[in-house]
Structure 1
Amino acid sequence: MSYTPPNTGNKIIIVGGGCFGLSTAYALSLKNMYDIYVYDRQEIPAPDAASCDINKIVRMDYANDTLYMHLTVEAFHMWHQWNKERAESNLSPVFHQSGVLLLSGKDQFSDFEKSCMKTIREAGYGHYITEYKSSQEIIEAFPQFKNAVENGFNTAYLNKAGGWCNSSEAVKHIYNKCVENGVHFILGQENGCLENLEYDPASPDTVVGIKTKDKKIHYADRVVLATGSWTAGLVEMHKQVVASGQQVIHFDAPPDAGLRKSWENLPVWCGDLSNTGYYGFPINADGRMKIGKHSSGYLNPRELDGVSVPRTQVTHTTDTVPIGALREFRQFLGKFLPETSALDVSCGRVCWYSDSIDGDFVISPHPDYKNLIVATGDSGHGLKFIPIIGFKIRDIIEGIDTQYSRAWKWRNMETQDTKLDGLRADALLQRLILDEPNNEAARMATIDEFKASRPRL
């Protein structure tokens, strides 16, 4: 299907007010050439979007994927600029340069971490890297990880350029920039919620707009689906992306003031991530510490066609995380941060990725339809790029050939070719069905099960 870029004055509808959608709307608005509308079923930031979270990692450590490394370096400049903008408005920073500490086990770095350091140094950014030569050096730099080091996580390097972002605040920040630039927002369960794409009756493969839940048709010259993990359930994606649920838990700040201060000063950490999947953050301003697992995740297939679709706390208010995942968190943290064993888990949720078939984004004109662009396939690593990704998507919308348009084009890969990124704990696909009947490990944990085990008299 051939693609024609939009003309000056054209109307562009973007469905989805998350990371990709808002960043695209902002980049387009800077050209003052288009009439831009963003539709979302919820107020921004949408509470069940992957982008709505207390924090996300901002890292440039991508092993041999230099495309994303360089894109992160570009994004760093924008993150610092956003912090300046917020300081001028007496707002808290959205980017916190805490550093990213990658810990490995078995007295050696994993292949992923070796590749990261090699690639970063060869690109001229070696000054960002502090490589620790012994277990004692790690403990001296980060005494908070003394137990982890003694339990085998005894090899590490720190990337000083990285850190974490307050992702919900980052979404609000770019949303406000869009509003200032005249982007139109249509939000709500009826008038902002996509029911289906609208096609030209005389040419069924031509998209002419969208229909919302209130049955109104909204015409446009181009439609951009930036609907994250919902995308595969909205349009035929030929199995190039799948919605996978990843588990996240929080701890509230411990009552021990010394421990709280220690955790406030943590870097972002990765606990032998390519083997275990676990990563975590310092305590944030609200006193919460988030820990997550980056793995192949869970599926939630719908009865209609078996396509995995997000199941979130918006529609399933009592959902938490699968009990099997909770038990694995406790087992890992018992070795890595054993202080958490005495703490209740304060909350947990399943965060939904749009996992692409090969870990790269899928941002491209749709091959089956005219005037339709998909911007999806975040694969769990999109939010760090929110200040910059929209400019790359804008190039794709405008038909400009770049290294990004070539890397993110529609790929027509077969399911058997699926591979996950180098940081996944289980590179072989082992996805379970969320809350699957007769599978005890897949059921949702109860609030009582979030409580720490306490000795009984």
Structure 2
Amino acid sequence: MMSLRLCPNLASKCYTLAHVKLTHEEAVKYKDCPVIFNCERGFFFEPDENNEIKICNEFPGYTNLNENGESIPFYANEIPLEAAKDIRKYLKETMPELSEKPFVKTKICWITDSPDRELIITTHPDHGNLVIGSGDSGESFMIMPVIGKYIGKVVTEGNAGLSEEEQLAWRWRPETAAGRDDIGGRYGGSGHVTDLKSIKEWVSVENPEPHPLF
């Protein structure tokens, strides 16, 4: 992972998700349901091929800070109890008949935020052989089919491989990190970014009773 000293524009944060399993009849009912997004609650997708619905709660995110103030990703099939409650609350408001179903998957999912939640695709100003394609800010699932060709242009041609408009939009811009609050215009949950090591109660599919992780 790149150091914050090398890339002050970027900050790693994680979000939480859970899956619930539907019966065949329930899956038919929700088939072709559009993605439902509430900026204070979260979003969910139609059932997948396993008749599972994925629900993500919306909130400013979690960090995992080290002694240098860098947020270091780690992965776990666990989510904070507070997140599990928020997911069930969103289910109760949108699909109440599913709100008490047991979770069949729980995960934390890491993203990299830029201060203005816009992409950074460029060569590093001090390290010309370092190409940065980051700052997805939680939107990789939407741009994944197309973004690779732009990163590939910078890898093979440098910044000149992008149009002037693209270079301006995706430029290196550390000035945007000055005074960043890391909330990034996100709502829901506690209303602020929380470090994972301060979370005392976690739950998972294997261990649904609240328990410590650290």
Q: Please name the residue that 2:16 is paired with.
A: 247
Which secondary structure state, in structure 1, belongs to the residue aligned with residue 99 of structure 2? Answer: helix
Q: TM-score, normalised by structure 1?
A: 0.41
Deviations 1:266-300 (A, max 9, x none): 22111xx22x1410011111221101124321000
Structure 1 residue runs of 5 or longer lacking an equivalent are 1-229, 314-318, 451-457
| In 1, Cα distance between equivalents of 2:202 and 2:70 | 21
Q: Please name the residue that 2:167 is paired with.
A: 405
Distance apart, 1:265 and its partner CA: 3.3
Trace 1:288-299 onto structure 2 (pairs within 5 A). 288-299=52-63
| In 2, Cα distance between equivalents of 1:279 and 1:330 | 12
| In 1, Cα distance between equivalents of 2:191 and 2:119 | 18
Q: TM-score, normalised by structure 2?
A: 0.83
Q: Note closer, same or farther for the CA distance 1:417–1:307 as it changes in structure 2 (3 Å cut).
A: closer
- Residues 1:237 and 2:7 aligned together: yes
Q: Taking every aligned residue pair, what percent have the same amino acid on both sides?
A: 24
| In 2, Cα distance between equivalents of 1:430 and 1:302 | 19
Query: Does the CA-based 8 Å contact 2:60-2:191 persist in structure 1?
Result: yes
Q: Please name the residue that 1:260 is paired with.
A: 27
Q: Please name the residue that 1:141 is paired with.
A: none
Distance apart, 1:418 and its partner CA: 5.0
2:47 pairs, out of 273, 279, 283, with 283
Query: Does the CA-based 8 Å contact 2:42-2:55 persist in structure 1?
Result: yes
Q: Please name the residue that 1:445 is paired with.
A: 203
Equivalent position amino acid for 1:409 in 2: R
Q: Please name the residue that 1:425 is paired with.
A: 187
Distance apart, 1:350 and its partner CA: 0.5
Query: Does the CA-based 8 Å contact 1:232-1:242 persist in structure 2?
Result: no
Query: Does the CA-based 8 Å contact 2:89-2:99 persist in structure 1?
Result: no
Q: Root-mean-square deviation (CA), in Å? A: 2.4
Bigger CA radius of gyration = 1
Q: Please name the residue that 2:66 is paired with.
A: 302
Equivalent position amino acid for 1:400 in 2: G
Deviations 1:325-353 (A, max 9, x none): 11111222222211123310111101001
| In 1, Cα distance between equivalents of 2:60 and 2:42 | 12
Distance apart, 1:400 and its partner CA: 3.0
Q: Please name the residue that 1:345 is paired with.
A: 103
Trace 1:78-97 onto structure 2 (pairs within 5 A). none
Which secondary structure state, in structure 1, belongs to the residue aligned with residue 152 of structure 2? Answer: helix
Number of aligned positions between the proteins: 202
Query: Does the CA-based 8 Å contact 1:231-1:376 persist in structure 2?
Result: no
Q: Note closer, same or farther for the CA distance 1:323–1:419 as it changes in structure 2 (3 Å cut).
A: closer
Which secondary structure state, in structure 2, belongs to the residue aligned with residue 416 of structure 1? Answer: coil
Equivalent position amino acid for 2:18 in 1: I
Q: Please name the residue that 2:89 is paired with.
A: 331
Q: Note closer, same or farther for the CA distance 1:336–1:323 as it changes in structure 2 (3 Å cut).
A: same
